[in-house]
Amino acid sequence: MAVIEVKDLHKTFIRQDGRILNVLNGISTEINKGEKIAVIGPSGSGKSTFLRCLNQMEEPTKGTVIFNGEDITAPGCDINRVRRKMGMVFQHFHLFPHLTVRKNLILSPVRHKLMTPDEAEVKAQELLARVGLADKIDEWPDRLSGGQKQRVAIARALAMNPEVLLFDEPTSALDPEMIGEVLDVMKELADSGMTMYLVTHEMGFAHKIADRVLFIDNGIISEQGTPDEVFDNPQKPRTKEFLSKVLHR
């Protein structure tokens, strides 16, 4: 069953100089429960904008996003309630630097009365252990390395018990030697059955964990299929060109 259903999504930005930028030009797809989708494509192709439309960080110009049968692009929809079920992990982590790791994790669950402070505390310890940072619970975010920050950010998203996790280039801002530790955590999440939507440049990782790969170009899904189909036997010339550039072959 589809957790997220996207129908004919368009997004147009009007720039300050009045020029119109068509970023998304009609995207339709479904994300099923437990499915891992990797999204690849050249920069500026609209893949991040598409991800941000899924939890309405960007308001689509046209089209609908349906989450668990509810149209979340409808005007009366309480988007804050929906976002509690859709975790998001950012390229630049965006931990709250004025709060300790512990408070980063428990702020939202406790504020929304999803858990008591005690329950949230237990959950926070559990999640930090899961991402391998149990000893960092009282640490300040600025004292963590990039890889540690991103693992805390993943734990923070998980603290809301989301049904879907959206990853927006989670390893692009990391030093190369820290990418592995974050991918390991994501691999473990994927194995545990989490529904994941991942925008990435890590082709090897996408190949390994994705059930389906989307190649987005010029604001449309120009090609999609299993990792083997897209990576090893791309059909469109644009896909071939992109892959040959990023895979150096």
Partner 1 sequence: MRNNFDFSKRNGAGRGDIVLGVFALFLLYLLYSSGFFTAAAWQDFNRRFYQNFIKDRRYMMLVDGLKATLFMTSGATLIGLTVGLILSVIRVAYKGGAPIPVLNKLANTYITVLRGTPAMVQLLIWNFTIFASARNLNTQYIAILAFGLNSGAYVAEIFRGGIESIDPGQMEAARSLGLNYTDSMRFVILPQALKNVIPMLFNEFIAMLKETSVAGYIGIDDLTRAGQNIQALTLEHSQPLVMVAIIYLVIVLFLTHLVRKLEEWLSRGRR
User: Interface with partner 1 includes 173 (CB under 8 A)?
Assistant: no
Site string for partner 1, 143-162 (x = CB under 8 A): x------------xx--x--
237/64 Cα distance (integer angstroms)? 30
Site string for partner 1, 69-88 (x = CB under 8 A): -----------xxxxx-xxx
Considering only residues 57, 66, 173, 203, which one is a binding residue for partner 1 as defined by CB under 8 A? 57
Considering only residues 10, 30, 61, 90, which one is a binding residue for partner 1 as defined by CB under 8 A? 90
User: Interface with partner 1 includes 111 (CB under 8 A)?
Assistant: yes
User: Interface with partner 1 includes 96 (CB under 8 A)?
Assistant: yes
Q: Residue 169 gets which letter from DSSP?
A: S
Residue type, 167: F
> The tokens of 195 are what?
């529904």
User: Interface with partner 1 includes 55 (CB under 8 A)?
Assistant: yes
Instruction: Name the minimum Å distance from CB 9 to partner 1.
Output: 19
Among 19, 11, 22, CA closest to 62: 11
Considering only residues 15, 69, 142, 237, which one is a binding residue for partner 1 as defined by CB under 8 A? 142
User: Interface with partner 1 includes 187 (CB under 8 A)?
Assistant: no
Instruction: Name the minimum Å distance from CB 99 to partner 1.
Output: 8
Residue 192's Cβ-count burial label (10 Å; 0-12, 13-18, 19+) is exposed
**Alpha helices (H) along 133-236:** 146-158, 176-191, 203-209, 227
Look at phi and psi of residue 112 and say left if phi exceeds 0, alpha if psi is from -120 to 50, else beta: alpha
Instruction: Name the minimum Å distance from CB 240 to partner 1.
Output: 35
Q: What angle do CA 57, 162, 46 make, to 5 degrees?
A: 35
User: Interface with partner 1 includes 107 (CB under 8 A)?
Assistant: yes
